[in-house]
Structure 1
Amino acid sequence: MGASFATHMLLLLWFFTATFCLSFFKAEPHVSCNEKEKQALLTLKRGLTDPGNLLSSWSSDQEDCCRWERVRCDNKTGRVTELHLSSPLDADGSFNYKKRLGGEISPSLLELGFLNYLNLSFSDFNCAHIPSFLGSMGSLTHLDLQWANFSRLIPHQLGNISGLRYLDLSGNDFNRAPIPSFLGSMGSLRHLDLHGANFSGLIPHQLGNLSGLRYLDLRWNDFNRAPIPSFLGSMGNLRHLDLHGANFSGLIPHQLGNLSGLRYLDLSENDFSRTGIPSFLGSMVTLRHLDLHQANFSGLIPHQLGNLSSLRYLDLQYNSDLHADNLRWMSGLSSIQYLGLGEADLHREVDWLQIMSEIPESLGKLKHLEFLDLGDNSLNGPIPQSLGNLSEIANLYYLYQNQLNGTIPKRPIPNCLKNISAMATHDEYPFFESLEFNFNYFSYIENLVLVPKGHELEYEENLRFVKIIDLSSNNLSGSIPDEISVLSELRFLNLSQNHLTGKIPEKIGNMKELETVDLSHNHLSGEIPPSMSNLTFINYLDLSYNNLSGKIPSSTQLQSFDAHSYTGNPQLCGDPLPKCTVEEKPLNRTPIGKTEDHSENSNFYMGMGVGFPVGFWAICGILFFKRTWRHAYFKFLDDIQDWVYVTTVPNVNWFLEKLKSHHLSLPPRTKFEFPALSPVMMEAGVQGGMLSCQDHTRKRFKKKLKLVRMKAWSVEKSKYIVAMALIRLY
């Protein structure tokens, strides 16, 4: 009886469960779109240009417009609620101009009374104004017009869309007009993106009324060196604030410290000269991203930044007047993944005495660190062994141009050495994997060997991604490890300006991807391996000022370099040096009567060997280590170049016109023209109205303002790198 009762109860339970599931998952009948709205969409299509056939499914033959691509409808009512008309991006993040929507936006959109989402981004409306009738679409909550090539003034009618929560007007050209004050009345806004839209003037105080705003992006505009408005601190719900490259100056208002929930803050590429990094930033414990690079900060780095235990990204690079008594505060950044302190001059001068900072052992506690840049500072001391604990690091830290010393420890060298090299200035090599410790005082190269000899496979596994090794201008001694030859992907090898001895590794010819080899100014001896003739891709070779001997191996590549690549090796011979003779082969036998000549030659080469480094540092040392002189030097060169352009070209053209006026025959199209504009000149031209609106928007989008917004410092830095390379080459 009990079993029968239990069976009946189970059946009853199964029946009710099945009934409930069927009723719950019962498919709703599909509702076709409203005929009036369908006709409105077809009218919209007729006004648009569609070279990419993005709206090919919009056809009167297809009865149900809810099934058209880029159209979304309410499942129950069939009314159109969303239009996704953004032009598609390519796989690399750019878009094909030939596929962009354009033309005119028809007022037929007003027939879509339930439309709440409208996306027209990355279209091309040919510098037209934003249609004012959009302000009558009261149901809109999401309006995305970014990079759609709109211009002129923003219609005030947009302020009537009281329920709008998302507004993106970025990447258009609003002709240096101020940000409209009516945006402050759109109290429902949660996301406001105005970056790169050519706004200027003061930020209207009405924006302070947007207390519910969570995302605000004002980067890449021009606010005329005004201070950051203090009312931004009243937007208590802000999570994302980006003011990058917006021409702010002055003090950073302490009211920003009230943004207790802020997670992303970018103040980089502004000019906060003669001001320090505010210590109140250390109290914004919710910060995940803090970017202060190239903002002209000065003074001591506040140790309070070490309180930001949730911070994952910190960039203080290119603030040349920052100082640090020590870097121990970094150990508090327990969640940090990206730490950029490159070219921040982390030293302090007290009564002309430089107090140097060392890399703290505690840095090894940052177990999540993936990128570390300490390059071009005044750091001294050794590399801490604790850095070997950074098991997550994917980008090898930059340590170039410091005053570090001691040996290169084995364990800081991670298994995966992917990094964006400072040398990656060419389009064909945008990313390098590199090992850069140049311009320090490291003393022992054999520590570069990560495993004992005979374990080449492990060595290759540890360093197999490396394409650049630059250990130049250190105090390295010892021999070049034979195991380096297993790095078959290496393209750049620079061990110059050290005290290396021994022979060039016999198997160097196995590194067939090598393009640059610089072993100059060492004490290497022996013959040049015959295997170097296998380096068919090599385009730069410098073996000068060593103790190499014997004949230069014959190959198309090795003979393509001039004698400068081999000079300073008195016992080296063969093309392109003087031919080898039979008597020169036994190195312990000197022909009678030649002792005095050989001594004179040796003295000559010794003099060249001493004279080169002395002359090099006498001329270039100041430019190398005195940043202000270096900048002044290159600014002087730029001014001279501009003066020559401005004075010479018009005068030459005037002279040619004079010749023509005297009926003298000239070759056709005889005219001198100015060279192509540099990125900085291009920016000035854009702001001065040199480019048409369409060209202006196209260039600003295609480059994403990356080049147009480059500051003069980056141009100077590039010239400096190229200049120093040329100095060393010649």
Structure 2
Amino acid sequence: MRNSRPIILFPLLCFLSSTISILCEPNTLVCNEKEKHALLRFKKALSDPGNRLSSWSVNQDCCRWEAVRCNNVTGRVVELHLGNPYDGFDLEFYRKFKLGGEISPALLELEFLSYLNLSWNDFGGIPIPSFLGSMGSLRYLDLSYAGFGGLVPHQLGNLSTLRHLDLGDNSGLLYVENLGWISHLAFLKYLGMNGVDLHREVHWLESVSMLPSLSELHLSECELDSNMTSSLGTISEVHFTALSKLKVLWISGTSLSFHVNSSIPTSGSGRGFLSGIVDTAPNWFWKFASYIVWIDLSNNQISGDLSQVVLKNTFIDLSSNCFSGRLPRLSPNVRILNIAKFILGTDFPFHVQKMNGRSKLEVLDVGLCGA
């Protein structure tokens, strides 16, 4: 009995040693063979002038390929990081490394893909493939700045687990006829549709207000002008109270109208920016807006005296509007305030109201204010 303990401990130590050895070995994960060949077909349909996908070779494990991420346990492909590493501000490198061509339906074979980023590429105005709506595992889809065009497919509404959707800034080539499908994305936290033409969709606000998890909304330059606000009806508090988690709101360049004291000229510039709309944002809107961290209402035609309004935002852009009188009261949390290019309807200038507490204001832009 005296020697039994070492005999028992020896195999246990051997087991622990082998387990630790396996865990400490370099990654031996091997990707799924079917998914590997699907990715190669996907690559074949793309144009890749900068050879960004040169590591995508039949002789190499696809889990080690550039821009591919696999599950650490199963080896299944879960993420494709194919956004251009250079944005359009570095034009030389952007052109060299942008992807183009076609989006192959071979992606459908990546049944566990949860993340797809194709941003800052150039697909030459081709439509967004409707089959993307069949990729039910997607939680993150970024097609911004990618040169897609045409009708946004309603099939995207089938992506019920989606958290992040960005279709913005595709050179104004995308449009929506019916946004009802967006209301099916109950878990959506980020919606980016900057530059997507929404003028055909008069019920856009009703659809967006049905997203209870939404925390960030980008709808700048979406053609939401006077040609459709008359059929939209009044923008009411009901539309916004449902968006209780919203923290970032960008709706610049929309010629936003609240139909409170609207004065719309009989002649204008057609779709797009229409000067001359004079609308007063109601008190409930400013109460709602004060709880948003980042808010951009620039390049609209919103009017009114904001002297009784208190804004608590970190970033506020109210430039190129028709406000008059005093600025709203600002909490000490405000860091950036842009009131440049105001169109003042009165003979008296703006006055910055005294702020209580220690101000954190870092940037104040009042350029070119005037009547």
Scaled by the length of structure 1, the TM-score of the pair is 0.41
1:296 aligns with 2:334: no
1:234 aligns with 2:245: no
RMSD of equivalent CA atoms: 2.8
Query: 1:318 corresponds to which letter in structure 2?
Result: K
Secondary structure at the aligned position of 1:43 is classed as: helix
Secondary structure at the aligned position of 1:96 is classed as: helix
Query: 2:75 corresponds to which letter in structure 1?
Result: G
Instruction: Give the one of 279, 293, 313 matched to 1:263.
Output: 293
Query: 2:316 corresponds to which letter in structure 1?
Result: L
User: 1 CA distance for matches of 2:189 and 2:22?
Assistant: 35
1:254 aligns with 2:283: yes
User: 1 CA distance for matches of 2:67 and 2:183?
Assistant: 31
Matches within 5 A, 1:140-151: 140-151=138-149
Query: Closer, same or farther in 2 for the Cα pair 1:339/1:178, shift >3 Å?
Result: farther
Flag structure 2 segments of 5+ consecutive residues without an equivalent: 1-12, 258-278
How far residue 91 of structure 1 moved from its aligned partner, in angstroms, is: 9.6
Query: 1:101 corresponds to which letter in structure 2?
Result: L
Secondary structure at the aligned position of 1:297 is classed as: strand
1:339: which partner in 2?
364
User: 2 CA distance for matches of 1:337 and 1:233?
Assistant: 31
Instruction: Give the one of 67, 77, 83 matched to 2:74.
Output: 77
Decide which structure has the larger Cα Rg and report it: 1
Instruction: Give the one of 112, 118, 122 matched to 1:114.
Output: 112
1:48 aligns with 2:73: no
1:129: which partner in 2?
127
User: 2 CA distance for matches of 1:255 and 1:328?
Assistant: 21
User: 2 CA distance for matches of 1:325 and 1:150?
Assistant: 43
2:6: which partner in 1?
none
User: 1 CA distance for matches of 2:350 and 2:80?
Assistant: 57
1:210: which partner in 2?
211
User: 1 CA distance for matches of 2:358 and 2:299?
Assistant: 23
Larger helix proportion of the pair: 1
Greater relative contact order, per chain length (Cα 8 Å cut-off, separation 6+): 2
How far residue 237 of structure 1 moved from its aligned partner, in angstroms, is: 0.5
1:199 aligns with 2:198: yes
Number of residue-to-residue matches in the alignment: 320
Secondary structure at the aligned position of 1:329 is classed as: coil
User: 2 CA distance for matches of 1:93 and 1:277?
Assistant: 40
Matches within 5 A, 1:155-194: 155-172=153-170, 173-174=172-173, 176-178=175-177, 180-194=179-193
How far residue 77 of structure 1 moved from its aligned partner, in angstroms, is: 0.7
Secondary structure at the aligned position of 2:240 is classed as: helix
Matches within 5 A, 1:216-615: 216-225=217-226, 226=229, 230=237, 231-249=239-257, 250-256=279-285, 257-258=287-288, 261-273=291-303, 275-277=304-306, 279-280=308-309, 282=310, 284-285=311-312, 287-302=313-328, 305-306=329-330, 308-321=331-344, 323=348, 327-330=352-355, 334-345=359-370
Q: Deviations over 1:157-208 (max 9, x none)?
A: 1100000000000012345545622112211100001112333243241211
How far residue 253 of structure 1 moved from its aligned partner, in angstroms, is: 4.1
User: Contact 1:320–1:343 at 8 Å: present in 2 too?
Assistant: no
Report the identity percentage. 39
User: 2 CA distance for matches of 1:93 and 1:43?
Assistant: 30
User: 2 CA distance for matches of 1:126 and 1:46?
Assistant: 17
**Stretch deviating more after TM superposition (222-231 or 150-159):** 222-231
User: 1 CA distance for matches of 2:156 and 2:66?
Assistant: 27
User: 2 CA distance for matches of 1:113 and 1:342?
Assistant: 52
Secondary structure at the aligned position of 1:241 is classed as: strand
Q: Deviations over 1:118-140 (max 9, x none)?
A: 01112222211111111110000
Flag structure 1 segments of 5+ consecutive residues without an equivalent: 1-15, 346-626, 628-730
